[in-house]
Amino acid sequence: MQPEGRVELPFLCYRKEKEGEILNDSEFILSFNRFKREFLQQSGLEEGQLGVLEMFEKWLQMRDNDKQEEIAPVPGTHFNVEKDWRVLLEDICRRVEKYLMKRGIVIKCLSAARWGQAKGSALCLVLPDRRDIFYRLCRTQPRKGPYSGQKIIKGELVLDGHKHSLFLPLLHHQAEMEHRLGFRLERESTRVEETGKYRFKICFPLNERISTRDCEEIARLLTEFIFVTHEYIEKINEAKTG
Give the pLDDT score at 190: 93
**Is residue 203 one of the residues assigned to a domain?**
yes
Regarding whether 46 and 138 lie in a shared domain, the answer is: no
**Is residue 72 one of the residues assigned to a domain?**
no
Q: What is the pTM of this model?
A: 0.68
**Is residue 155 one of the residues assigned to a domain?**
yes
Count of structural domains, the chain? 2
Give the pLDDT score at 98: 92
Give the pLDDT score at 221: 95
Give the pLDDT score at 52: 57
**Is residue 71 one of the residues assigned to a domain?**
no
Give the pLDDT score at 137: 94
Regarding whether 159 and 111 lie in a shared domain, the answer is: yes
**Is residue 101 one of the residues assigned to a domain?**
yes
Give the pLDDT score at 86: 85
Give the pLDDT score at 233: 94
Query: In the chain, which stretches have pLDDT less than 50?
Result: 1-22, 50, 66-75
Regarding whether 116 and 210 lie in a shared domain, the answer is: yes
Give the pLDDT score at 39: 64
Regarding whether 179 and 61 lie in a shared domain, the answer is: no
- Interval 190-219: pLDDT, tens: 999 999 999 999 999 988 888 888 899 999
Give the pLDDT score at 12: 41
**65, 97, 115 - which closes a domain:** 65
Give the pLDDT score at 72: 36
Q: Among candidates 91, 110, 109, which has minimal Cα distance to 101?
A: 109
The answer to whether 38 and 176 are in contact (CB under 8 A) is no
Give the separation between CA 223 and CA 105, rounded to whole angstroms: 10
**Is residue 70 one of the residues assigned to a domain?**
no
Residue range of the domain that includes 183: 78-241
Q: Among candidates 144, 107, 142, 146, which has minimal Cα distance to 127?
A: 107
Residues in Cβ contact with 56 at an 8 Å cutoff, skipping those fewer than 6 apart: 35, 36, 39
Residue 200's DSSP bridge partners are 157, 187
Give the pLDDT score at 227: 96
